Amino acid sequence: MNRRDPAGIEARIGYAFTNRELLERALTRLAYTLEAGLPPEAHMDALATLGDAVINVAVVEAVVMGGAHDKGAITNRKVNLVNMTRLRGLAEDLDLADYVRWGKGEAAQTVWTSGRVLAECLEALIGAVYLDGGMEAAAGVLRRLGLTERA
């Protein structure tokens, strides 16, 4: 699999990174980092954890701003909007797998075709947007992707 130019993902999400290293980190899997001898902080895992939290905050904010006031209703709406299947679908719509630096074994097994892998890649991308441009930038990307437009 030939990796696409990371600038292409910026066009697809409608956000241009100030810190290109954050974008590269968001698109780099741990397996690739280990195989390439990159520093331990060069992979996406921490950004995926951050991105998961940012997505949850953005979605809950959108639900509340949309008029929801009941805790149970807010939680149910968030659960319906933020799940592995939904995030994976958004990542597939972006062709995100084409931009990620995969480990050799991951590439051979096409790990992005099943499970949570692509959802985690999208979370890492959102985490990187958050660190680069703040909550407003991350929420804007999520709106453009359609995650919060109907919250």
pLDDT along the chain (151 residues), means of 10: 85 97 97 95 97 96 91 91 92 95 91 89 98 97 86 43
Distance CA 55, CA 61 (A): 10
The CATH superfamily label for domain 7-145 reads Ribonuclease III domain (1.10.1520.10)
- Dihedral of CA atoms 80, 125, 41, 117 in degrees, nearest 10, equals 50
Residue of 106, 120, 123, 132 marked catalytic: 123
User: What is the pLDDT, as a whole number, of residue 151?
Assistant: 43
SS3 28: strand
User: What is the pLDDT, as a whole number, of residue 109?
Assistant: 87
Q: Is 61 a catalytic residue?
A: no
Q: Is 35 a catalytic residue?
A: no
Give domain limits for the chain: 7-145
CA angle 144, 54, 133 (to 5 degrees): 65
Residue of 52, 106, 120, 132 marked catalytic: 52
Distance CA 95, CA 106 (A): 16
User: What is the pLDDT, as a whole number, of residue 81?
Assistant: 87
